[in-house]
Structure 1
Amino acid sequence: MKVRTRLTLLFTFVTAMLMVFYGIAVYYSSSEAREISFYAQLRNEAVAKANLFFQSTLSEKEMHRVYKNNTKTINEVQVAIYDPEFNLIYHDDSKVDYVKEDPKMLSNIQKKKELSFFIDDLQAIGTIYSHNGKEYLVTAAGYDQYGYKSINHLLTISIIAFISILILVYLAGIFLSKKALNPISEMVNQIKKITAGKLQLRLKTTGEKDELNELAQNFNGMLERLENSFDAQKHFVSNISHELRTPLSAIITELELSAEKEQTKDEYQQTIQYALDDARNMVKLSNSLMDLAKASYDPNEISFSEIRLDEILLESYSKIIKENSEYKVSLNIDSDIDEPQLLLQGNEYLLQVAFNNLIDNACKYSPIHTCSIEVKGDSKTLSIQFINTGITISQNDLLHIFEPFYRSEDSRKEKGYGIGLFLTEKIIHLHHAMIKVESKNNETVFTVIFDIETN
Structure 2
Amino acid sequence: MKIRTALTLKNTLATAAVFLACLAAVYLVSEHTRSRTFYHTLQSEAVTKAHLFLQGRVDARTMQEIYLNNRNFIDEVEVAVYSANARMLYHDAIRSDIVKEDSAMIARIRDLHRIEFRVGKYQAIGMLYRFGGEDYIVTAAAYDRYGHANLAQLRMTLATLLLIGVLLLFATGYLLARAALQPMRGIVQQAGAITASRIDRRLPVKNARDELGELALAFNDLLARLETSFHAQKQFVSNVSHELRTPLAALIAELDLALQKERSGEHYRRAMGRALQDARRMTRLIDGLLNLAKADYRQEQIKMEEIRLDELLLDVRSLILRAHPDYRIELLFEQEEADDERMITVEGNLHLLTIAFTNLIENNCKYSGDRLSCVHISYWDQWAILRFSDAGVGMTEEELRNLFTLFYRGGQESMAEGHGIGMALARKIVQLHRGRIAVHSEAGQGTTFVVELPHV
TM-score normalised over the length of structure 1: 0.90
Query: What is the CA–CA distance in structure 2 between the aligned matches of 1:128 and 1:40, rounded to whole Å?
Result: 15
The offset of 1:72, in angstroms, is 5.0
Gap change, CA 1:371 and 1:88, over 3 Å in 2: closer
Gap change, CA 1:228 and 1:394, over 3 Å in 2: farther
Percent of residue pairs identical:
39
Query: What is the CA–CA distance in structure 1 between the aligned matches of 2:419 and 2:46, rounded to whole Å?
Result: 114
- Corresponding residue number in structure 2 for 1:431: 433
Aligned match of 1:417 in 405, 416, 419? 419
Corresponding letter in the other structure for 1:17: A
Query: What is the CA–CA distance in structure 2 between the aligned matches of 1:224 and 1:320, rounded to whole Å?
Result: 38
Matches within 5 A, 1:220-299: 220-299=220-299
| Aligned partners of 1:337 and 1:377 also within 8 Å | no
| Aligned partners of 2:440 and 2:449 also within 8 Å | yes
Query: What is the CA–CA distance in structure 1 between the aligned matches of 2:129 and 2:41, rounded to whole Å?
Result: 16
Query: What is the CA–CA distance in structure 1 between the aligned matches of 2:140 and 2:84, rounded to whole Å?
Result: 17
The offset of 1:85, in angstroms, is 4.8
- Corresponding residue number in structure 2 for 1:450: 453
Q: Secondary structure at the match of 1:389?
A: coil
Q: Secondary structure at the match of 2:203?
A: coil
Matches within 5 A, 1:155-234: 155-234=155-234
Q: Secondary structure at the match of 1:118?
A: strand
Query: What is the CA–CA distance in structure 1 between the aligned matches of 2:140 and 2:315, rounded to whole Å?
Result: 112
Higher mean alpha-carbon deviation, 137-146 vs 238-247, is at 137-146
Higher mean alpha-carbon deviation, 172-181 vs 340-349, is at 340-349
1:132 equivalenced with 2:135 (yes/no): no
Gap change, CA 1:305 and 1:65, over 3 Å in 2: closer
Corresponding letter in the other structure for 2:447: T
The offset of 1:137, in angstroms, is 2.3
Gap change, CA 1:101 and 1:408, over 3 Å in 2: same
Corresponding letter in the other structure for 2:286: S
Higher mean alpha-carbon deviation, 161-170 vs 88-97, is at 88-97
- Corresponding residue number in structure 2 for 1:382: 384
The offset of 1:357, in angstroms, is 0.7
The offset of 1:270, in angstroms, is 1.0
Measured against aligned partners, the alpha-carbon deviations of 1:69-93 in whole angstroms (never above 9, x if no partner) come to: 5445432212222334544443334
Query: What is the CA–CA distance in structure 2 between the aligned matches of 1:184 and 1:17, rounded to whole Å?
Result: 29
Corresponding letter in the other structure for 1:29: V
Q: Secondary structure at the match of 1:101?
A: coil
Measured against aligned partners, the alpha-carbon deviations of 1:358-395 in whole angstroms (never above 9, x if no partner) come to: 12112222344433333344464432222223444233
Higher mean alpha-carbon deviation, 177-186 vs 280-289, is at 177-186
Measured against aligned partners, the alpha-carbon deviations of 1:171-225 in whole angstroms (never above 9, x if no partner) come to: 2222222222222222222211111111011111013511220111121122122
- Corresponding residue number in structure 2 for 1:110: 110
Gap change, CA 1:412 and 1:201, over 3 Å in 2: farther
Q: Which runs of 5+ in 1 are unaligned?
A: none
Corresponding letter in the other structure for 2:449: F
Higher mean alpha-carbon deviation, 253-262 vs 1-10, is at 1-10
| Aligned partners of 1:365 and 1:411 also within 8 Å | no
- Corresponding residue number in structure 1 for 2:52: 52
Corresponding letter in the other structure for 1:348: L
Query: What is the CA–CA distance in structure 1 between the aligned matches of 2:380 and 2:336, rounded to whole Å?
Result: 9
Query: What is the CA–CA distance in structure 1 between the aligned matches of 2:34 and 2:94, rounded to whole Å?
Result: 28
Higher mean alpha-carbon deviation, 238-247 vs 439-448, is at 439-448
Query: What is the CA–CA distance in structure 2 between the aligned matches of 1:234 and 1:370, rounded to whole Å?
Result: 38
Task: Give the superposed CA RMSD.
Answer: 2.5
Query: What is the CA–CA distance in structure 2 between the aligned matches of 1:289 and 1:333, rounded to whole Å?
Result: 33
Q: Secondary structure at the match of 2:390?
A: strand
Corresponding letter in the other structure for 1:158: L
The offset of 1:132, in angstroms, is 2.0
| Aligned partners of 1:337 and 1:376 also within 8 Å | no
| Aligned partners of 1:317 and 1:329 also within 8 Å | yes
- Corresponding residue number in structure 1 for 2:402: 400
Higher mean alpha-carbon deviation, 419-428 vs 241-250, is at 419-428
Corresponding letter in the other structure for 1:447: V
Query: What is the CA–CA distance in structure 1 between the aligned matches of 2:82 and 2:95, rounded to whole Å?
Result: 16
Aligned residues: 453
Corresponding letter in the other structure for 2:53: F
Measured against aligned partners, the alpha-carbon deviations of 1:298-334 in whole angstroms (never above 9, x if no partner) come to: 4334333333322332333333333234434433333
